[in-house]
Structure 1
Amino acid sequence: MIIDVETPSQLRTLVCSRCHAPHDAFVAQTVSACCGVPLLARYTLSDAPPRSVLAMRPATMWRYREVLPLLDEANQVSLGEGMTPLLTLGNLAARYGLRSLLLKDEGQNPTGSFKARGLSMAVSKAKELGAQGCIIPTAGNAGVAMAAYCAKAGLPATVVMPRHTPAAFKEECYWYGADVQLVDGLINDCAALVRELNAAGQLLDVSTLKEPYRIEGKKTMGYEIAEQLQWQLPDVILYPAGGGTGLIGIWKAFREMQTMGWLVADVKLPRMVAVQASNCCPLVETLAGRQANCQQYQGRPTIANGLAVPRPLGEALMLEVLAESGGTALSIDDDEMLAGMRELAQHEGLFVAPEGAAVWMAARKLLASGWLRADEQLLILNTGSGQKYLDNVVGKH
């Protein structure tokens, strides 16, 4: 395969995230053949250009092309995703005596969520690898994003989502021309139907971390945070973790930038906080030692649809991030999320997804407990637009 000199991806290999065995990065892959766990992309970072090359590039996630896995720019399927704003929440900072409170608003991505990053990359790779189409189990936003990018790429899309998913997500998938299958249950039940529908393997299954490409799109959040902060990093990042791809990806980005010398010398990496819903908090339960792992965890629906992931494939990787960063995990209930949505709307003019409200309420809890200090710089991520969740929150303002 010829690599476009205008998009010099420095992709070198894929490695098993458990035993680190190498896998061919230039053919279609799912999970590792050795351990059945997620594969992670590795790049020749020693040849990375200086970060100054970014100045003249488009303000999308594709500006970080050397550390993305697409080999030929002709296969790029883009709707302008990435470079979302980093907002200063001065009103809430003053209200709670905080030195610095920032919010990265991923709801301003195409299709209204951070899922645009991962699915832009996954669908681009599907096109590059000659896939006949894509299939995904989803709690909502990921299915919408995949349907949109498949429409752009001219690829068939099959979206499998819970029947109780808010209508906005379903309707958008229909408008993009996707085949939408509804399931009674949560995303793990949708994954079972995906395996059945794709038994012949004709479609690229872009389930969370069951292919090595979505995480590479998601990690660009980490690159942008660093670039937007002049290659410094905040003290703490709070992230809503369902499947956990973004949490793992952001940390992967920080490690890559360390190796490339893109970060300010001796910058300290942030403590990472994973925020889950009280109705579905497998990572919290495992971290607390109340279960060995998430494999038998039973979750319940929550107004934060993206957090209803009872058995995340990336649990071990999320735990690694929390351990390496000195971070933690905690859960927020639905009433607290509604309170967070009201507070962000009424004091900062932001109508965030329940997942985004959850991370703000988690910050408040950690401040009250002393785990966070008021003099630290805190960054929270809102992963989607609150507009899509109106079915879940209507009348609860």
Structure 2
Amino acid sequence: MEKMYAPTTYVSHLACSKCGQEFDIKSLQTFATCCERPLIVRYNFLDLGKEELIGRPLNMWRYREVLPVIHDENIVSLSEGMTPILDMPRLSQKYGLRTVILKDEGLNPTGSFKSRGLSMAVSKAKELGVTECVIPTAGNAGGALSAYCARAGMKVTVLMPDITPDIFQEECKFYGADLILVDGLIDRCGELSKEVQERTGAFNMSTLKEPYRIEGKKTMGYEIAEQLNWQLPDVIIYPTGGGTGLIGIWKAFKEMVELGWIHEEDLPKMVVVQTENCAPVVKYIHGQEIDEATIKRSIANGLAVPKAFGRDLIKETVEESNGYAITVSEDQIYESTLEIGSQEGISVATEGGAIWAALKDLVSDGRVKSDEKILLLNTGSGNKYLENLRNYR
């Protein structure tokens, strides 16, 4: 582990995301039992200048003061974070857009943005004495947890839909995880993970059912601001399953406003994108009825999340940012994923194809202007999705 330059963390406590009731940060916590909502990490912000980041390691732990691990020796890292922001000149020109850029999370150690959240969650679990974990996953989170548990010397059980492409299954096995394949989507995996938790005593790393994955994901927000010289884009488009990254990025922006690093009036619109096959969050935001019987699997594994525990926080983010929540079709996802690869040479996950499809629709209907600065958040490497693409048609 590289030397950490920050003297300490500013972490204060955990709070219920609905009522604000405080929970002890030094005890193992799951979610807020008072309101059955996610717990949020809160900090006591002291004087911290942006210039203090100069010379720190080029990974997510450079933001040490606003991360919740108390002692450096508990950090479990594979040097995740500080992923590049790439221009998309050919597609921008083709569609008459001034500035479209893409943050490529596929270049993280385990090939997706899940590296961030699971590095943080495993680090904090280690600090609190956890020796065994369990997780339900649509793919990438299982591989990431398997890698970081291997790094930490922890045992891990992964529950994954049996329709998940082989590469995700083999990744978990490669890192030594116990893999259980489940007949159903990630919600069924979540139900069964509770049984594993009760039987083995393993700590459950389900999305937003523990407080720290969001703290790893929020570092995407800090990086976006720093990499763009503290000038945020006008719009950020995000593929949304459980929504932890979207919530985390918005949390980071608000923390930076409190630190004085950015201005509140410059915050971007946040756009939620889901597939027509599985759009419970979009329907919830729009006040539409959710019929779980109509939910289907998706070419974008990470979007096939029938129930999002953090849906209220996702809705708050969209509303506070004056953003949007939209769906795209499976055909659009397929075609747009291939379009990015063939036109820009960037290997994006099918979730990345979904957000490019969404941008084209948003520009077409006038909700996003062609002269705005637009950032796409690609969540994973396209190399893991080649089986999905091959089998689609």
TM-score (norm 2): 0.96
Divergent runs of 4+, >6 A: none
Amino acid at match of 1:114: F
Equivalence map 1:105-184=2 (5 Å): 105-184=104-183
- For residues 193 and 242 of structure 2, the distance between their equivalents in structure 1, rounded to whole angstroms, comes to 16
Aligned to 1:383: 379
Answering whether residue 347 of structure 2 is matched by residue 348 of structure 1, we say no
Does the C-alpha gap of structure 1 residues 189 and 56 become closer, same or farther in structure 2, counting only changes over 3 Å? same
Kept in 2, the 8 Å contact 1:132–1:202? The answer is no
Give the drift of 1:262.
Answer: 1.1
Answering whether residue 19 of structure 2 is matched by residue 14 of structure 1, we say no
- For residues 167 and 59 of structure 2, the distance between their equivalents in structure 1, rounded to whole angstroms, comes to 26
Which residues of structure 2 form unaligned runs of 5+? none
Give the drift of 1:48.
Answer: 3.9
Aligned to 1:60: 59
Amino acid at match of 1:384: G
Give the drift of 1:114.
Answer: 0.3
- For residues 283 and 30 of structure 1, the distance between their equivalents in structure 2, rounded to whole angstroms, comes to 22
Answering whether residue 353 of structure 2 is matched by residue 357 of structure 1, we say yes
Amino acid at match of 1:150: C
Amino acid at match of 1:35: C
Answering whether residue 299 of structure 2 is matched by residue 287 of structure 1, we say no
Kept in 1, the 8 Å contact 2:237–2:377? The answer is yes
What per-residue deviation string (whole Å, max 9, x for no partner) do you get for residues 190-215 of structure 1? 00100111115721211000000000
What per-residue deviation string (whole Å, max 9, x for no partner) do you get for residues 86-116 of structure 1? 0011111111111110000000001100000
Kept in 2, the 8 Å contact 1:100–1:376? The answer is yes
- For residues 228 and 12 of structure 2, the distance between their equivalents in structure 1, rounded to whole angstroms, comes to 29
Give the drift of 1:299.
Answer: 2.1
What per-residue deviation string (whole Å, max 9, x for no partner) do you get for residues 327-366 of structure 1? 1111112111111111101110012100001000100000
Give the drift of 1:232.
Answer: 1.1
* Helix, strand or coil at the partner of 1:168: helix
Aligned to 1:28: 28
* Helix, strand or coil at the partner of 1:135: strand
In the alignment of these two chains, the number of paired residues is 390
- For residues 203 and 261 of structure 1, the distance between their equivalents in structure 2, rounded to whole angstroms, comes to 40
Percent identity reads 53
- For residues 13 and 331 of structure 2, the distance between their equivalents in structure 1, rounded to whole angstroms, comes to 45
Kept in 2, the 8 Å contact 1:233–1:267? The answer is no
- For residues 36 and 370 of structure 2, the distance between their equivalents in structure 1, rounded to whole angstroms, comes to 42
Kept in 1, the 8 Å contact 2:6–2:64? The answer is no
* Helix, strand or coil at the partner of 1:216: helix
Kept in 1, the 8 Å contact 2:159–2:179? The answer is yes
Q: CA RMSD in A?
A: 1.5
Aligned to 1:40: 40
- For residues 66 and 151 of structure 1, the distance between their equivalents in structure 2, rounded to whole angstroms, comes to 26
- For residues 161 and 184 of structure 1, the distance between their equivalents in structure 2, rounded to whole angstroms, comes to 9
- For residues 290 and 267 of structure 1, the distance between their equivalents in structure 2, rounded to whole angstroms, comes to 30
Kept in 1, the 8 Å contact 2:254–2:264? The answer is no
What per-residue deviation string (whole Å, max 9, x for no partner) do you get for residues 302-344 of structure 1? 0100000011000000000000000111111211111111110
What per-residue deviation string (whole Å, max 9, x for no partner) do you get for residues 162-212 of structure 1? 000010000010010000011000000000100111115721211000000
Aligned to 2:70: 71
Which residues of structure 1 form unaligned runs of 5+? none
TM-score (norm 1): 0.96
* Helix, strand or coil at the partner of 2:110: helix
